[in-house]
Amino acid sequence: KDMSAYLEYSSIPDHLPELEDDIQEDLFFQGLLKRDHLNIWLSDGRTLGKLHFDQYDNLLCQISGKKQVMLFDPHNNHQMYEGHIPEATLSYNQTSNTFHRRHLLESTSMVMSPVDILKPDYSRFPLFGDTYPLNCTLEEGDVLYLPSFWWHEVQSFPNVTAGRNLAINFWYDPFLIKEFPCAECKLDVNPKYRHLL
């Protein structure tokens, strides 16, 4: 009842190749940026992607339902209190209908901020009070360009009749890069794209 399933970071070419031909990528910068991933995001529309950044340039395409996206400038990285949480593998117990964390992965971690942006604790995170977020609502048919390293938190809402939230996103090799993980490192132009300057 209080749980929500979320198919996230799921590669369409790897897991749903029959859908790939239905997805057109007719963009003005096609050929300039190299596509790295094509993902599908499917849920019942009651999911929250906590404050984090991705190291890819991102085109997020909303198909069903809507998303509320709060964005924060990557140049204010110190105000986000960058942290990392290890990824884990889950197992599903069919008898008890429950998921259990099996083990943490040593080789990967996800960037996150410990700040609750809806109820910030300014005594623990005083610098967060100096941030100026951008708020964006993605309706069905909208596309958001999200540059690499921009902090964002994403709240999903279901389509009223279908009861789901569906999006796809294209991740591209980023135009701007930095050492990762490295909270203090500055952004720089990706050497792959210096010829465009």
Q: For the segment 80-109, what is each residue's pLDDT rounded down to a tens digit? A: 999 877 666 777 788 888 877 776 666 556
Residue 16 pLDDT exceeds 90: no
* 37 burial level (CB within 10 Å; 0-12, 13-18, 19+): middle
More confidently predicted of 138 and 108: 138
CB of 103 closer than 8 Å to CB of 88: yes
Q: pLDDT category, 197, cuts 50, 70, 90?
A: confident
Its pTM stands at 0.83
Q: What digits encode the pLDDT tens for the residues 55-76?
A: 999 999 999 999 999 999 998 8
Task: Give the span between the Cα atoms of 120 and 16, in whole angstroms.
Answer: 39
Domains in the chain: ranges and CATH: 6-79+129-196 (2.60.120.650)
Residue 195, pLDDT > 70, answer yes
Q: How far apart are CA 181 and CA 158, in angstroms?
A: 34
> In degrees rounded to 5, what are phi and psi of residue 145?
-90, 120
